[in-house]
Amino acid sequence: MGVCHSLRSRVIGPQSSIAYTGRGGGTGGTEGDQGHADLASDPQLRDRLRAEEKARMKAENKRSRSIDKTLKAEKREYKQTHRLLLLGAGESGKSTIVKQMRILHVNGFNAEEKKQKIQDIKNNIKEAIETIVAAMSTLAPPVQLASPENQFRIEYILNLVNQKDFEFTAEFYEHTKILWQDEGVKACYERSNEYQLIDCAQYFLDKIDIVKQSDYSPPDQDLLRCRVLTSGIFETRFQVDKVNFHMFDVGGQRDERRKWIQCFNDVTAIIFVVASSSYNMVIREDNQTNRLQEALNLFKNIWNNRWLRTISVILFLNKQDLLAEKVLAGKSKIEEYFPEFARYTTPDDATPEPGEDPRVTRAKYFIRDEFLRISTASGDGRHYCYPHFTCAVDTENIRRVFNDCRDIIQRMHLRQYELL
pLDDT in tens, the chain (420 residues): 444 444 333 443 444 444 444 444 444 455 555 556 666 677 888 888 888 888 999 998 888 888 877 776 666 666 778 999 999 998 999 999 999 999 999 989 999 999 999 999 999 999 999 999 999 999 999 999 999 999 999 999 999 987 877 889 999 999 999 999 999 999 999 999 999 999 999 999 999 999 999 999 999 999 999 999 877 788 899 999 888 999 988 875 666 666 666 566 788 999 999 999 999 999 988 889 999 999 999 999 999 988 888 889 999 999 999 999 999 999 899 999 999 999 999 999 999 999 999 999 999 999 999 999 999 987 667 789 999 999 999 999 999 999 999 988 988 888 766 644
- Both 300 and 394 in one domain: the answer is yes
d(CA 248, CA 260) in angstroms, rounded, equals: 10
For 384, other C-beta atoms within 10 Å of its C-beta total: 15
Encode pLDDT of 360-379 as tens digits.
Answer: 999 999 999 999 999 998 76
Instruction: Single out the residue of 286, 230, 236 nearest to residue 259, CA to CA.
Output: 230
Long-range pairs for 377-384 at CB < 8 Å and ≥24 separation? 378/300, 378/303, 378/304, 380/309, 382/309, 382/310, 383/303, 383/308, 383/309, 383/310, 383/311, 383/312, 383/313, 384/312, 384/313
Domain boundary among 224, 256, 277: 224
Task: Count up the domains in the chain and report the number.
Answer: 3
Same domain, 254 and 352: yes
- CATH number for the domain that contains residue 350: 3.40.50.300
Sign of CA dihedral 364, 368, 369, 371: positive
Query: The CATH number of the domain where 192 resides is what?
Result: 1.10.400.10
Among residues 237, 271, 317, 300, the alpha carbon closest in space to that of 409 is found at: 271
Residue 135 and residue 124: Cα distance in Å, rounded? 16
Cis peptide before 141 (omega within 30 of 0): yes
Q: What is the pTM of this model?
A: 0.80
Assess whether 249 and 369 both reside in one domain. Answer: yes
CA distances from 164 to 126, 127, 159, 161, 267 (A): 12, 13, 12, 9, 40
CB 49 within 8 A of CB 387: no
Residue 370 lies in a domain: yes
Which residues are designated catalytic?
91, 96, 227, 249, 253
Domain extent for 163: 111-224
Same domain assignment for residues 178 and 273:
no
Residue numbers belonging to the annotated binding site for GTP: 91-96, 224-230, 249-253, 318-321, 392
Please indicate, yes or no, whether residues 281 and 376 belong to a single structural domain of this protein: yes
Residue 68 domain-assigned (yes or no): no
Q: Does residue 159 fall inside a structural domain?
A: yes
Is residue 74 a part of any domain in this protein?
A: no
